[in-house]
Structure 1
Amino acid sequence: MKHLLTIFKYALLLALSGVLMWYAVRGQDLSTIGHYIRSANYFWLGITMFLSVLGYFSRAYRWKMQLTASHQTVSYWNVYHAMMVGYLANIVLPRMGEVIRCSVLRRTSGVPVEVSLGTVITERVIDVLVLALLLGVVLMLEFNKFWAFIESLFVDKYDSLAANRDVLLSVAGIAVLLAFVFGYLLLRNLDKLRENALFVKVIAFVKGLLAGVFSIRKMENKSLFLFHTGFTWLVYYLMDYLAFMCFPETYSLDMKAGLAVLTFGAFGMAAPVSGGIGVFHVLVQSTLLVYGISKEAGIAYALVVHGAQTMLVVLMGGISFIVSAIHSGKPAAQKQMSVSR
């Protein structure tokens, strides 16, 4: 039953991606979209893919710094291959790549999953903060242009929430009450729980998770960590901006437009659907509409950029999957040999 629910969940998310892709292209001239894609200048796309590779290397090094601060000795390439396998998994299994890359790292390097997962959580929190900062910058620079866009996304939802305020407050009150009851019961039975094997395992897992989350506090070279964070997002920005050069319709867009596409496109990639498919395309197309780019040209841009990055992840992630499979289990075997000696 559990497997059926999992299959149903991913099938539903895939269907959602399909519906959003249909929404992005409905009522448009498919032959025009095809013409834009065929006539694109792929030289610039090649440059963006090269920059993307550098970005992956940088992100892997940043993750290795977090693991080192968590007192985990692991080689750079094992970290890189685990990360790329995770990105590959995200194309098929939304948001499962983070868990899968930690599992791969445990098999290849013996790093506890709870520790590596804690570092991944820290990484995601930092990325969310950067994305929030970028959103603020975009709205300050292009407030007039994007006010209508933001309003169209949230006004209807705000009116709906306001109309049901009493119901929402009641639900929130019940949730808070249940939280207090749960906390009281937990404290009252804490001594008994400490004797429970499952509870002990959960506590150990949480401690390892927190060790990974706060690894950045123990990092020796925080400035280098910040450099790689900045470099990664600079690469993301250049990828979107230089991709404007692929199409005559977007060639004249300025750097502020590139920042807007980066920001809203990142929200699309963060959505819990396979590889951001559908959500990314709708948000990028809508963002380019604000700058006067037609729907056909906007969706062609999104398809080319997203398609190129997906193929790159499939290629690099596939290679990393093979390499990780070859090295899987070696740390455990080495530990057994050292014990027998």
Structure 2
Amino acid sequence: MIPPVPSRRPRRLRATPAMRRLVAETRLHPADLVLPLFVREGLSEPQPIASMPGVVQHTLDSLRETAVLAAEAGLGGVMLFGVPQRRDARGSGADDPEGILNLATAAVAAEAGDSLVVQTDLCLDEFTDHGHCGVLDASGAVDNDRTLERYAEMAIAQAEAGSALLGLSGMMDGQVAAVRAALDGAGFSSTAILAYSAKYASAFYGPFREAVDSQLVGDRRSYQQDPANRREGAHEAALDLDEGADIVMVKPAMSYLDVISDVAELSPVPVWAYQVSGEAAMIEAAAANGWIDRRRAIEESVTGIRRAGADAVLSYFALEIAGWIR
């Protein structure tokens, strides 16, 4: 028996590259990508990060050069992370005007601040000798409210250095409200806040720990979210929106596409996602073994993050993707 001829043929819209391009529902654009960059105090030349192929700890000079490349590629912005030579319990280098992150911010803002959004990581973990994202109390636990005081001080220092967007990644309760009040009180009402609203205690941060020479012993599960919890991500985002966040973020991205979708559904402001170090490292490792097509995997992974609802993506592949698009 001859089967009936299909009356509906979705394959028509997949038949050629031109047709597929024309009907694509999700597109990548350089302006929707943010490049994370590491700058390390005391380096005379860029230092490769073994667990993150193609990514380096920059000198101030190489950081400026890369920021110019990012601007020329049309990227939306760069997110700066500082790696100091000296650390202490309160992370003193974080709000020191001569600290590496603030010096780097000023340098990049002067070099490329008119062409892209200069962003800074606002967290204490890179600057503390215990590696936690806040100030510790007598028992060794992170003291939420004392940490908010340090975040407020960091926020003013970063804004003074020229950061246009502060990335609050510490997951302290009330951090958006505390930083917003500090910025407004210091005359920086135009400085925007990116809230890492749904930041999970993930195994995929491993290579990042090498990138920032993390001193962490133990884990951050008492303040970062449990990977088992979906609704909590939306709840955290709603709290940050109430406190005045200009952008909210989900981190990591690829294992949390459901959370990205949930947050995008409720948020009236842009929603971003961070394709973190472990996600990038897995792609690099599989590609190096010949198990996957590297470029296709990168493009597919970032497209999937955008398709889930992210308006922009922080990705270590941002410059490469921009080059492929252009």
Is this a same-fold pair by TM over 0.5?
no
Instruction: Decide which structure has the larger Cα Rg and report it.
Output: 1
Shorter-normalised TM range: under 0.3
Under a length normalisation based on structure 2, what TM-score does the superposition of the two structures give?
A: 0.26
Under a length normalisation based on structure 1, what TM-score does the superposition of the two structures give?
A: 0.25
Q: Which has the higher contact order (CA 8 A, sep 6+)?
A: 1
* More helix by percentage: 1
